Structure 1
Amino acid sequence: MTQTATAPTTLDSPPPSAAAAPRIVARIRDDAEALAVARRLAEDFAQESALRDRERKLPWDELDRYVRSGLWGITVPKQYGGAGVSYGTLAEVIATISSGDGSIGQIPQNHFYAVELIRVNGSESQKRFFFERVLQGDRFGNALAELGTKTSHDRKTSLARDTAGPGYRINGRKFYATGALYADWVPTSVIDEAGVQQLAIVPRHAPGLTIIDDWSGFGQRTTGSGSAVFENVHVPADAVIGFASAFTRPTQIGPMAQIQHAAIDLGIARAAYRDLLEFVRTRSRPWIDSGVERAGDDPLTIREVGDLTIQLHAAEALLQRAGRLVDAAAAEPSEASVAEASIAVAEARVLTTEVSLAAGSKLFELAGSQSTLAEHNLDRHWRNARTHTLHDPVRWKYHAIGNYYLNGKNPPRHGAL
C-alpha cells in the first residue's frame, strides 16, 4: 500500500486515505443482523485462514469486506446513526469472526476500544466527527503499548505543545500496534506535559508517523502487531481525548476491552474444536486396543471430546454472562457495577484462556500423528491461542476473582483485568 505524506488533518476533514477512496459501507440495524452478518463472514474467512497464516498473507481484502459489511460500526450509539449493539453481541461477533480467522478477529479490537473511549470521554464534536467517520468505513488502529518500560502499562511517548503553532507534537515509539498497519487513524497513548496520560487520534498518513510491519510472533501472524514510530508528529488539540480519566472514575472501558480478548480466545477455541471433530471423523485411525473400526467410536476419544465440549460451553456461558454485566455497568456506572462486570469478564477470560489452549492441544492428541503434517497447518490454533492469551496473565485473574469473593476487594480499574 503506497504511503504518501500529507498536511495534518483536523476534525473538519477525513484522513487522506478515506478522502481518496471512500468506502461503500452497509448500515447494520440491530443485534440480530450483526450476528447474522458475522456468521456469513466467518465462513468466508475460514476458507483460506490456514493459507494466510502459513504464508503470512496480510488480509487486506478480507478486512475491506469486513468493514464494508458494517460490523466495524455496530458500537456507534443509535443517536449517532449506529446500531448501538450490546456488549454481549459485540463479544459474540468477535468470537464468531475469530472462529473463522483468529488474526482477523483480533485486528478490530482496538478499533472498538477507541470508539468506546470516544463514547465515554469524547466531546460532543469529537463524537459527531469520529462516529460519522466510523460509519463511513474508517478504521482505528492502535499505538498504546511500548517496549522497554518498567511495566506493560508505563508510557514514555510524549505529547508537547507545538511551539510553532496550535496543537501538539508527539514523539515516541510503540509496539504491539495491532491494526495500525491497516488503519485510517492511529489512536496513540501519550503522556502530556503534566504527566497525565491522554489519547491522541492521529491520521495514519500523518507526516512523521511510520508504521513498521515487524511483528514476528509465532501466532496471530497476520494481525500486523508491529511498531509505530512518532517523530515530531503534529496532532490538533481537538483530536486529543482524556485517557487516564476513563479509569480514575468507574466506567465500562476496562471490562469492555477485556471482554473482547475473551471473545477472541473463545473464537480460536471454537476453530480448534471444529477442526478436531472434522479430523477425527474423516482422517484419524482408531487405536489398536480400542477394538473399533472408526476413531470416532473410540470410547476414550469420545470421553475426551465430551470433556472439551463441556469446557467450551462453560466458557461460552461465562462470556454471555459477562456481556450482560458489562451492559449493566455501562447503563449505571458505579464502583460496584463496574467491579462486578470486571470480575465477570475475568472469570470468562480464565475459561476462554484455558479452553483455547486445551482445544489446540487436544486436537493433536485425539486426531493423531497425521494432524501434525504441515499441509494442514493445524498448529496455528494453538499458536494463536498461546500468543493472544499472553496479553495479560491469567494467574492474576484468579487472584482478582478470589480476592473479590473472599475479601470483598474490588479489582483495579485498568485495561489489563
Structure 2
Amino acid sequence: MTTTAPPAAPGTAPGTASAGTASRAASSPTTADLLDRFSELFARIRAGAAERDRTRTLPRAEITALAEAGFGRLRLPVEHGGLGADLPQTFAVLTELAAADSNLAQIWRGHLAFVEDVLTARSPEFRARWLPRLASGAVVGNAWTEPGEGARGIASTTVSAAESGGARVNGTKFYTTGSIFADYADTTVTAPDGTQSIALVPLRQGGVTLTDDWDGFGQRTTGTGTAVFADAEVPAEDVYPFAERFTYQTALYQVVLLAAQAGIARAALRDASALVRDRTRSYSHGNAERAAEDPQLLEVVGHLAAAAQTAEVLTADAAQALQRIHEAENGDPTVRDRLGEAAELASARAQVVVSQLVPAAATRLFDALGASAVREGAALDRHWRNARTVASHNPWVYKARIAGEHAVHGHVRTDTTWSVGVASR
C-alpha cells in the first residue's frame, strides 16, 4: 500500500553506527510529538475495535490510514523521509496503538523488524534500494512459519533461479501476520545449495495467494493466515542469506508482543475505570451507594492500574535494551554480543511477568463490574482473549528457564534465532 511521502535521499553506506543512530543527531522528535501526530487516528481506530473483533472484519482501511500517516516510517531517518524515532519512542507509540486495538499493533511486527534490518544493513546497495521504498509508504509483512511437520529451522519453502534472471519462490506459510495488508512479505526460504535465506516477495502478483484463515479466539483481525507462493517472482537482489539479518531480531519480535500486552492492559484499565465511574446500580451488600465510591471495587481497578503500569515499564525497559544493541550492531562484535544478550534477557524476563500478569488482569476486571459486563455487546472478553493469544506465541516457561540459566550460570544459550518445527532425527 505504497503512499506518498517526503522524497528519500539516496542510501549511504553505514559506518560503525547504524543509520538510525545518525538520524538522532540530525533530528530528535519528542515522544509527545510522535504521539500527538497519531492521536486522532488512534482514537478512530479505538472506536471501531470492538466491532471489528465481533465481526472478524480485517482493518484494511485502518492499516492504509496508518501507512499514509507515516506509521511505517517511524524508524526511518528524517533525511530519508522518516520520522526519526528511536526504539523506545517507537515502542511507546506502538503501545498507544495497542491500547486502541492490539490487533493493529501486532500487524506491524514484521514491518518493524524489516525496517530494523534495513537500518543496520552493511550493504549500501540494499539500503539504497529499500529506504526509498519504505519512505514512500511500502508495508512489509511476515511469512516465516510453516504448517505441518516440517523440519525445525529449515524452510520447506524454496527459492530458485528464474529464466528471467530473477528468482521464484514456492511453498506455503502460516501465521503470516501483516502480509494480507502488505506490499511485500519477508519470507524465509531455502536456496538450492541449502542456505537458509530471506526472499522479499512482492505480494501483488498472480503467484501469491493470501487467505485470512486464522481461526484463533483472540487477535482475530491480524490476518494471521496462510500464504501460498506458486512460482512467485522476486528480484534476485532481494534474496539474501538469513545469517545476514540483524542480530537482535528475536528480542525485537518479542518486545512487539510486550507492547501489545501493555496496550491490552491499558485498554482493560480504561474500560473498567469508565464502567465503574458511570455505574449507577449497586448491591445491597456492597459498601457504597455508587460503584465509584465502593472501596472494594476501587481496589480491583487499582490492581488493573498496577498491572498496566508494570507492563508498560517492562516494555519500555526492554526497548531501551534494544536501542543499546541497535547502536552497537555494526561495531565491536564483543560489545554487540554483550548488549545482544542483555536485550534477550530484558525481553525474556519481561515476558515471564507480562504473559501472566495481563491475562489475569483482563479477567479480574469483571470483579469490579456486574453481570451486564459479560454480555457480548460489552465486548470486554476480547481483552482476555487477545492477551492470552499474544502470550501463547512463544511459551513464557522457556523464557523463565533462560532467565534462570543466566542467574545461576551467568550466560544464556548462544542460539537466539528461535524456530518451531519437528526436530531432525
Where does residue 12 of structure 1 map in the other structure?
A: none
Where does residue 266 of structure 2 map in the other structure?
A: 270
State the Cα distance separating 1:224 from its structure 2 match. 0.9
Q: Give the conservation status (yes or no) of the 8 Å contact 1:196–1:244.
A: no
Sequence identity (%): 32
Deviation per residue, 1:65-101 (Å, 9 max, x gap): 1111112111123453323311111111111001101
Cα distance in 1 for residues equivalent to 2:191 and 2:117 = 18
1:216 aligned partner, one-letter code = D
Number of residue pairs the alignment of both structures matches: 393
Where does residue 175 of structure 1 map in the other structure?
A: 174
Aligned CA distance change for structure 1 residues 232 and 153 (closer, same or farther; 3 Å): same
Where does residue 362 of structure 2 map in the other structure?
A: 360
Cα distance in 1 for residues equivalent to 2:239 and 2:226 = 21
Q: Give the conservation status (yes or no) of the 8 Å contact 1:254–1:416.
A: no
Structure 1 length-normalised TM: 0.88
DSSP-derived class of the 2:140 partner: coil
Where does residue 12 of structure 2 map in the other structure?
A: none
Matched, 1:216 2:218: no
Where does residue 188 of structure 2 map in the other structure?
A: 189
State the Cα distance separating 1:136 from its structure 2 match. 1.0
Cα distance in 2 for residues equivalent to 1:154 and 1:360 = 37
Q: Give the conservation status (yes or no) of the 8 Å contact 2:211–2:226.
A: yes
Where does residue 5 of structure 1 map in the other structure?
A: none
Cα distance in 2 for residues equivalent to 1:406 and 1:79 = 46
Where does residue 233 of structure 1 map in the other structure?
A: 232
Cα distance in 2 for residues equivalent to 1:382 and 1:81 = 38
CA RMSD, aligned part only? 2.3
State the Cα distance separating 1:272 from its structure 2 match. 1.2
* Larger mean Cα displacement after TM superposition, 30-39 or 229-238: 30-39
1:328 aligned partner, one-letter code = R
Q: Give the conservation status (yes or no) of the 8 Å contact 2:297–2:367.
A: no
Q: Give the conservation status (yes or no) of the 8 Å contact 1:56–1:222.
A: yes
Q: 1:281-320, aligned counterparts within 5 Å?
A: 281-283=277-279, 285-320=281-316
Where does residue 30 of structure 1 map in the other structure?
A: 29
1:179 aligned partner, one-letter code = G
Cα distance in 1 for residues equivalent to 2:195 and 2:165 = 20
Where does residue 132 of structure 1 map in the other structure?
A: 132
DSSP-derived class of the 2:322 partner: helix
DSSP-derived class of the 2:377 partner: coil
Deviation per residue, 1:165-213 (Å, 9 max, x gap): 4222211100111111111111211111232221111111133111112
Where does residue 414 of structure 1 map in the other structure?
A: 417
DSSP-derived class of the 1:47 partner: helix
Unaligned runs of 5+ in 1: 1-16
1:117 aligned partner, one-letter code = D
Cα distance in 1 for residues equivalent to 2:407 and 2:150 = 30
DSSP-derived class of the 1:263 partner: helix
DSSP-derived class of the 2:285 partner: helix
1:387 aligned partner, one-letter code = T
* Larger mean Cα displacement after TM superposition, 214-223 or 285-294: 285-294
2:194 aligned partner, one-letter code = G
Q: Give the conservation status (yes or no) of the 8 Å contact 2:121–2:127.
A: no
DSSP-derived class of the 1:48 partner: helix
Cα distance in 2 for residues equivalent to 1:282 and 1:56 = 29
State the Cα distance separating 1:285 from its structure 2 match. 4.2
Aligned CA distance change for structure 1 residues 375 and 241 (closer, same or farther; 3 Å): same
* Larger mean Cα displacement after TM superposition, 263-272 or 122-131: 122-131
Aligned CA distance change for structure 1 residues 168 and 332 (closer, same or farther; 3 Å): same
Cα distance in 1 for residues equivalent to 2:39 and 2:410 = 40
Q: Give the conservation status (yes or no) of the 8 Å contact 1:199–1:243.
A: yes
Cα distance in 2 for residues equivalent to 1:291 and 1:305 = 15
2:399 aligned partner, one-letter code = K
Q: Give the conservation status (yes or no) of the 8 Å contact 1:26–1:70.
A: no
State the Cα distance separating 1:123 from its structure 2 match. 2.6
Aligned CA distance change for structure 1 residues 154 and 273 (closer, same or farther; 3 Å): farther
Cα distance in 1 for residues equivalent to 2:380 and 2:355 = 18
Q: Give the conservation status (yes or no) of the 8 Å contact 1:29–1:82.
A: no
Cα distance in 1 for residues equivalent to 2:394 and 2:277 = 36
1:308 aligned partner, one-letter code = L
